[in-house]
Amino acid sequence: MIKVACVGGYSEVGKNMTAIKIDDEVIILDMGFYLPKLLDFEERNSRKNITRENLIELGVIPNDEFIRSWRDKVKAIIVGHAHLDHSAALPYMEKNYNAKIIGTTFTNAIIKILARDEGIELKNEIINLNPGKKMEVSKDISIEFVNATHSTPESTITAVHTKYGSIMYCNDFKLDETPVIGKKTDYNRLKEIGKDNVKLAIIDCLYSNNNTKTPSEMLARQMLKEVIFENATQGVLVGTTFASNIARLKSFLEFGMKMNREVLFLGRSMEKYTRAAEDVGIVNFSQNSEIIKYRKDVKKKLKEVEKNKDKYLIVTTGNQGEPGSILVSMANGEMPLKLDNNDSVIFSCKTIPVPNNFKNRLTLEKALDRKSVNVFLDIHQSGHGARKDIEELISILKPEHIIPGHGDPSKFTKMSILAKDINFDMKKIHIMENRQKLEID
Ligand SMILES: [Zn+2]
């Protein structure tokens, strides 16, 4: 008997966590943050000494109390990729479990940095499992990471192999034929698994309402190249993107070097992710750029930049207009670097559709506009598959049951329409919300 507990990420885009009980053993998939709630909190308070209970109450991490009776049965905590909405709650939650933590080398490097930065010592052992590899977690259950393209390195589709068939956890993925870093999605392996019995697939449906296929990261790279080489002005170039998108950071770095500009990565999260990428040998950022973590050092460096603006390309945090971020501080004139009509700001991102982001981004764009800065928007492609990617994945895996994931009921409805259109048995698509359980026989 398989029971699925939807702990988080089924009533919002974030704090992903799913627990799967196979007979008397439990596997946990992801433990992530709901970032909007964290940012709300951090605008007014420090995260220092904050507890798991505080974070649950604030809605920042999943509330796993309703699976308390499953605690002793948990055999493994799997983190499918390194994004914070899948990994960042782990340091606060893992102590309540006696189970190994399994992730890829890059994901584990991020988990360790997250724990260390918050002064948390992890109780459970962390085990590296690389894409393409399988690991037995008990006599009856094995875990396999299948390489998948997304927007952070070493992303995986997780297969939980059981005697009832495989359970495929496909949060998050897109089907990218030309990823800038890493290999294509391992279609062969997915096809092999699909030929056997896939009992259930939990599928990232964030963009299921988008009728296309999500374009490749290579297109994002081309767009960025065009802006940097053809449209950017003579002043300072400031780019902003998701720090976890190592492929994008690499593109910024390479274009900056080609222009003979000194490349700077600014901010705590840029430091976290570039260091992790470097530690596991994906991109050696520090060889060709300067990575500056702390605000006082950022300010010091920006004083130098102010004197020779056209010698620098800066990549910084604040792409969602987060109050207090470096980019917002720059736009508000609170930094030694003063932006004007010779300077360019490139948003290599999209606004994540969660509360506050649209408002924050608009405020930031208005501030830049008042300074007549050249602003380039949406120089980006998403890491989440759209409808065509989802259809293709379903046709490869042929799951018996589907649970739409990584969204809220509005996204899940679109997924039901998609399933109906491809003649999927509608009784076997299960729309779930947080803190609901589903039994599959
Ligand atoms: Zn992700």
Examine the domain organization and report whether 88 and 190 are in the same domain.
yes
Task: Please give the mean pLDDT across all residues of the chain.
Answer: 95
Q: Output the pLDDT for position 352.
A: 83
Percent share of the chain, pLDDT over 70: 100
Mean pLDDT of 289-308: 97
Inter-residue long-range contacts of 417-423, CB under 8 Å, 24+ positions, other chains counted:
418/208, 418/387, 418/390, 418/391, 419/394, 422/391, 422/394, 422/395
Examine the domain organization and report whether 209 and 222 are in the same domain.
no
DSSP labels for 342-366? Answer: T-EEEE-S---SSTTHHHHHHHHHH
Q: How far is the CA of 114 from the centre of ligand 1 (A)?
A: 16
Examine the domain organization and report whether 41 and 175 are in the same domain.
yes
| Residue 191 banded pLDDT, cuts 50, 70, 90 | very high
Q: Which of 376, 402, 432 is the last residue of a domain?
A: 376
Task: Provide the token pair at 302.
Answer: 């920006």
Q: Output the pLDDT for position 122.
A: 98
Task: Provide the token pair at 414.
Answer: 């679109």
Q: How far is the CA of 84 from the centre of ligand 1 (A)?
A: 8
Examine the domain organization and report whether 293 and 190 are in the same domain.
no
Per-residue pLDDT tens over the stretch 3-38 = 999 999 999 999 999 999 999 999 999 999 998 888
Q: How far is the CA of 344 from the centre of ligand 1 (A)?
A: 28
| Residue 337 banded pLDDT, cuts 50, 70, 90 | very high
Cβ neighbours, 10 Å, residue 240: 28
Examine the domain organization and report whether 161 and 34 are in the same domain.
yes
Q: CB-based contacts of 357: which residues, under 8 Å, 6+ apart?
A: 36, 320, 321, 351
Whole-angstrom distance, CA of residue 328 vs CA of residue 315: 13
Q: Output the pLDDT for position 182.
A: 96
Q: Which of 351, 376, 401 is the last residue of a domain?
A: 376
Examine the domain organization and report whether 345 and 412 are in the same domain.
no
Tokens 């396999």, residue located: 144
| Contact assessment for residue 113 and residue 273, using Cβ atoms and an 8 Å cutoff | no
Q: Output the pLDDT for position 17.
A: 98
Q: Does residue 403 surpass a pLDDT of 90?
A: yes
Q: How far is the CA of 405 from the centre of ligand 1 (A)?
A: 12
Q: Output the pLDDT for position 435.
A: 96
Q: How far is the CA of 308 from the centre of ligand 1 (A)?
A: 37
- Domains held by the chain: number: 2
Examine the domain organization and report whether 348 and 313 are in the same domain.
yes
Q: How far is the CA of 373 from the centre of ligand 1 (A)?
A: 31
Q: How far is the CA of 285 from the centre of ligand 1 (A)?
A: 22
Whole-angstrom distance, CA of residue 184 vs CA of residue 80: 16
Q: Output the pLDDT for position 387.
A: 96
| Residue 353 banded pLDDT, cuts 50, 70, 90 | confident
| Residue 354 banded pLDDT, cuts 50, 70, 90 | confident
Q: Does residue 441 surpass a pLDDT of 90?
A: no
Q: Which of 376, 410, 429 is the last residue of a domain?
A: 376
Q: Looking at residue 42, which CATH number applies to its domain? A: 3.60.15.10
Q: CB-based contacts of 377: which residues, under 8 Å, 6+ apart?
A: 347, 365
Whole-angstrom distance, CA of residue 441 vs CA of residue 439: 7
Whole-angstrom distance, CA of residue 302 vs CA of residue 307: 9
Q: How far is the CA of 417 from the centre of ligand 1 (A)?
A: 24
Edge-to-edge strand list for the sheet holding 401-405: 134-136, 142-147, 156-162, 165-170, 198-204, 401-405
Q: How far is the CA of 83 from the centre of ligand 1 (A)?
A: 5
Examine the domain organization and report whether 8 and 29 are in the same domain.
yes
Examine the domain organization and report whether 423 and 368 are in the same domain.
no
Percent share of the chain, pLDDT over 90: 90
Identify the H or E element spanning 330: helix 326-331
Q: Output the pLDDT for position 275.
A: 94
Per-residue pLDDT tens over the stretch 123-165 = 999 999 999 999 999 999 999 999 999 999 999 999 999 999 9
Q: Output the pLDDT for position 234.
A: 85
Whole-angstrom distance, CA of residue 424 vs CA of residue 402: 9
Mean pLDDT of 165-176: 98
Q: Output the pLDDT for position 284.
A: 96
Examine the domain organization and report whether 263 and 140 are in the same domain.
no
Mean pLDDT of 215-227: 97
Burial class of residue 96, CB neighbours in 10 A (0-12, 13-18, 19+): middle
Q: Does residue 355 surpass a pLDDT of 80?
A: no
Query: How many CA atoms are closer than 13 Å to the CA of 10, on its beta-carbon side?
Result: 23
Examine the domain organization and report whether 366 and 426 are in the same domain.
no
Task: Provide the token pair at 181.
Answer: 């870093």
Which amino acid belongs to residue 398? K
Q: Tell me how far the alpha carbon of residue 49 is from its chain's centroid.
A: 25
| Contact assessment for residue 62 and residue 88, using Cβ atoms and an 8 Å cutoff | no
* Structural domain boundaries, residue 264: 217-376
Mean pLDDT of 195-223: 96
Q: Output the pLDDT for position 206.
A: 93
Which amino acid belongs to residue 426? M
Q: Does residue 233 surpass a pLDDT of 80?
A: no
User: What phi, psi does 401 have (nearest 5°)?
Assistant: -125, 150
Per-residue pLDDT tens over the stretch 54-106 = 999 999 999 999 999 999 999 999 999 999 999 999 999 999 999 999 999 99
Examine the domain organization and report whether 338 and 404 are in the same domain.
no
Q: Looking at residue 299, which CATH number applies to its domain? A: 3.40.50.10710
DSSP labels for 170-196? Answer: E-S-B--SS-SSSPPP-HHHHHHHHHS
